[in-house]
Amino acid sequence: MLAEIRSLNEECGVFGIWGHENASQITYYGLHALQHRGQEGAGIVTTDGETLKPVKGEGLVNEVFTPEKLSKMAGNGAIGHVRYATAGGSGIENVQRCCSIPLPAAWQFPITAIL
């Protein structure tokens, strides 16, 4: 087997959407579909175009994101991550490193959250 093929692993998963009123819900389903790539933790950052709002936790996607949490995650953009520990060890501090920051009112480019 080629070295490139042997080194391919399914570790972590990222899903994002922009311009949809139910961005957090769609991202939730996207992460659920990617759950096989990471089961240690999950996080979603949503945006309303002005701020980034993170929610993260340890465990499976459906354990981290309850219907109550999802209903409070308003925004038309979201990016999410499921984690498989390859570096940094397990623990909440290593699940989707992100923060909530205000964005300039004149921001005219898509928002990118670095996970």
- The catalytic site residues sit at 12
The alpha carbon dihedral of 53, 91, 89, 82 has a sign of negative
What are the respective helix, strand and coil percentages of the chain, to the nearest 5? 25, 25, 50
